[in-house]
Amino acid sequence: MSSNIKSPRGMNDLLPPDSAKWLYFENACRTLFERYGYAEVRTPMVESTALFARGIGESTDIVEKEMYTFPDLKGRSLTMRPEMTAGCARSYIQHAVYKRGPITRWFYIGPMFRYERMQTGRYRQFHQVGVEAFGSDSASVDAEQIAMVYALYSQLGVKDLDLYINSVGDAEDRPRYRQALVDFLTPMRDKLCADCQRRLEKNPLRILDCKVPGCIEIVAGAPSVLDALGERSRAQFDAVQSHLSSYGVAFTVDTRIVRGLDYYTGTVFELKSSSGTLGTQSTLVGGGRYDNLVESLGGPPTPGVGFALGIERAVLSLPGEAGDYANKPLAFLAARGDAAREHALALAHRLRLAGLRIEVEHRQVGMKAQFKRADKLGARFVIALGDDELSSGQIKIRDMSQGSETEIALDAVESELKRRAP
Ligand code: AMP
């Protein structure tokens, strides 16, 4: 093997101690989402290409230029999933999950793949946690999901959170708004960036969230999507806002939030953090309602709402260093001499089986090196074992933060450590 094979561009290894921060975040998601009745679902990382073309939309950036698509050995076109809502909807239909109950609440955690230009917070293999609720068109579900994910970040200490919400209207409002936007933008077509000139025909709503300064200027005067909402969408959007207020969640209505995927109907939202670490990739969470997705993929008419968040960006936004999130050993067993080491190894095994996080020295090194290692690992206690301790049956537990020592019987180690464990 060549010595310099690297991971593919934009696809990163996750090593300890960074993995500790990831796990902590993932566990926080699982714990919180389960409290709201969401259960974990796992779907394949690869799906038929047609699923994304139909589900996400042919003229979206993702489907047009960001998918990892390849033929399998029989020539079927497969795609590494760029997101998971389409896969969840496919699975929901395939297993007729709608027959099991009126509402289905799922969450997922896993890698997604998009061939994107890389920057901090933007990768080609990245990881999302997301939730989907199928079966309810109630605005209270939209608001509950938003309040839940807002609470996730604020409880974890993420600063400067800003929630932006909008409505992109239902199947009747969308064409009306699309036409109003095209009528407004067409006379200024030449001033739009090359991408937006293309979008004008294929996906004009996307022009609203273009980041090119010239386009931002033009769009500032564009008609508002909210003016195009029909009665039903208007009432739905008002209800989302009043539910959010009763949950105590502050938000800003921003009519430029349209989200890049075609399946959204009604509520869309983004949660951002303006704290420094994220750079330009400040969107932590994106989501919204997709009341036509299940039907468009061949299922029964089923409303749905969900969001996805990026774990890489979440971890960048969390306070503290990765090491702060790692579990430290409760005790380090240091040994002097072969007999004591043998005893220490067996004792460590026993204590671990009893549920304690224990480190033990496998190398034949002196006491000083062992204490140094215990300190580096952040062990709270060190227990030193030598011939004297083995023959007297008494050992000393050293509290590393206080520098104090307590003498106890060797066979009371387990109960003593359990008593002192946090
Ligand atoms: P989306 O599926 O595009 O709505 O994205 C939802 C969330 O996933 C974003 O707010 C980001 O936190 C995250 N995300 C999307 N694309 C990437 C990427 N290429 N790299 C890292 N995170 C991403």
- Mean pLDDT in residue range 74-100: 98
Mean model confidence pLDDT for the chain:
94
Residue 142 pLDDT > 70, yes or no? Answer: yes
- Mean pLDDT in residue range 225-233: 93
Residue nearest to atom 13 of ligand 1 (CA): 310
Contact 22, 311 (CB under 8 A): yes
Nearest to 83 by CA among 272, 287, 266, 279: 287
How far away, in angstroms, is 66 Cα from ligand 1 center?
A: 13
**Cα dihedral value 71, 77, 80, 85, nearest 10:** -170
Q: In whole angstroms, give the CA distance from residue 81 to residue 312.
A: 17
How far away, in angstroms, is 63 Cα from ligand 1 center?
A: 15
Q: What confidence score (pLDDT) does residue 276 get? A: 65
How far away, in angstroms, is 90 Cα from ligand 1 center?
A: 21
Q: Give the CA distances from residue 411 to residues 333, 359, 374, 395, 415, in Å, rounded to whole numbers and listed in that order.
A: 14, 18, 22, 9, 9
Q: What confidence score (pLDDT) does residue 2 get? A: 59
Residue nearest to atom 23 of ligand 1 (CA): 310
301-339 per-residue burial string, b: 16 or more CB within 10 A, e: under 16: ebbbbbbbbbbbbbbbbbeeebeebbeebbbbbbbbeee
How far away, in angstroms, is 56 Cα from ligand 1 center?
A: 14
Residue nearest to atom 17 of ligand 1 (CA): 122
**Cα dihedral value 46, 50, 53, 55, nearest 10:** -80
Higher pLDDT, 406 or 171: 406
The mean-pLDDT minimum among 8-17, 169-178, 349-358 falls in 169-178
Residue 119 per-residue DSSP state:
B
DSSP line for 175-190: HHHHHHHHHHHGGGGG
Ligand 1 atom with the smallest distance to the CA of 270 is: 10
pLDDT digits (tens, 9 = 90+) for 270-320: 999 987 677 777 899 999 999 999 999 999 999 999 999 999 999 999 999
- Mean pLDDT in residue range 30-35: 98
The answer to whether the bond into 16 is cis (omega within 30° of 0) is no
Q: 174-179: long-range contacts (C-beta < 8 A, 24 or more apart)?
A: 174/265, 176/228, 177/205, 177/223, 177/225, 177/228, 178/204, 178/205
Partners of 407 in the β-ladder: 396
